[in-house]
Amino acid sequence: DAKTTQPPSMDCAEGRAANLPCNHSTISGNEYVYWYRQIHSQGPQYIIHGLKNNETNEMASLIITEDRKSSTLILPHATLRDTAVYYCIVRVDTGRRALTFGSGTRLQVQP
Amino acid sequence: ETGVTQSPTHLIKTRGQQVTLRCSSQSGHNTVSWYQQALGQGPQFIFQYYREEENGRGNFPPRFSGLQFPNYSSELNVNALELDDSALYLCASSLTQGSPYEQYFGPGTRLTVT
């Protein structure tokens, strides 16, 4: 699985958009970008994933650059409950299905 | 639909002892993965089971072993506990059919080795 780089921490004001970047410059053509988050004292939670097109669901939007070397997770209206560690994971969608977590970005939503 | 559950929630053991942690998969999921999460770090993959067979293993010694049962529930066994085994142990269940293979995590078992 390709290596990812994320900032260790970010702050965001409540109600504003939170934009979490992820660099994955060594991504292969068959690797997807996944985002998970882990709220304190809970297990990680799947947010969204994509291959090369931008994706949106009820939780977030995922913007992947055209060269696929980086992506941004967007929480459109951050709330205090979005305070968590966000993990960007790159992996193929077949074979061993383990997730390789890095250190993630600790997002603190401020009131 | 029942989510992933783990037991116990917390556990304290002494170095050298053995421990068994348990996980019940989300309904219909036939694959279970176990992860170890040390304080301040991301989860690290231990191993995965599919239909009662080990289906991949991370960089963990043989004293970490597992089982998956016909109902897809699972156990993680750790022998000869070391202080560094203190961590949050997470299990995650998933489907092998279709895409994507999102993994659904339980709340974890916090193991403290003294």
Residue that the structure tokens 């016909």 belong to: B70
Q: CA of B2 to nearest chain A CA: how many angstroms apart?
A: 15
A25-A71-A29 Cα angle (round to 5): 50
| B21 part of contact set with chain A, CB < 8 Å | no
Taking only the tens place, the pLDDT of each residue in B31-76 is 899 999 999 899 999 999 988 999 889 999 999 999 999 988 999 9
Query: What is the pLDDT, as a whole number, of residue A75?
Result: 98
Residue that the structure tokens 């951050």 belong to: A78
Give the list of residues 6+ apart from residue A94 with CB closer than 8 angstroms, or none: none
Residue that the structure tokens 């293993």 belong to: B57
Residue of chain B nearest A85, judged by CA positions = B42
CB-CB under 8 Å, A43 with B90:
yes
Query: What is the pLDDT, as a whole number, of residue A23?
Result: 97
User: Tokens standing for A15?
Assistant: 């109600």
User: Tokens standing for A28?
Assistant: 């292969």
Query: Would the pLDDT of B98 be above 50?
Result: no
Taking only the tens place, the pLDDT of each residue in A39-69 is 988 899 989 999 998 999 999 999 999 999 9
CB-CB under 8 Å, A103 with B101:
no
Taking only the tens place, the pLDDT of each residue in A73-90 is 999 999 999 999 999 999
Mean pLDDT of chain A, nearest integer? 92
Chain B residues touching A49 at Cβ < 8 A: 100, 102
Mutation target for A interface from B24, B45, B97: give the one with most A CBs within 10 A: B45
Looking at the DSSP bridge assignments, the partners of residue B37 are: B88
Within chain B, strands assigned E span 5-7, 10-13, 19-24, 31-37, 44-50, 53-57, 64-68, 74-78, 87-94, 104-105, 109-113
Q: CA of B11 to nearest chain A CA: how many angstroms apart?
A: 15
Give the mean model confidence (pLDDT) for residues A26-50: 91
Contact, A36 vs A46, CB < 8 A?
A: yes
Contact, B62 vs B47, CB < 8 A?
A: no
Query: Would the pLDDT of B99 be above 50?
Result: no
Query: Would the pLDDT of A95 be above 70?
Result: no
Chain A residues touching B26 at Cβ < 8 A: none
Annotate chain A with three-state secondary structure.
Answer: CCCCECCCEEEEECCCCEEEEEECCCCCCCEEEEEEEECCCCCCEEEEEECCCCEECCCCEEEECCCCCEEEEEECCCCHHHCEEEEEEEEECCCCCCCCCCCCEEEEEEC
- CA B72 – CA B29 distance, rounded (Å): 7
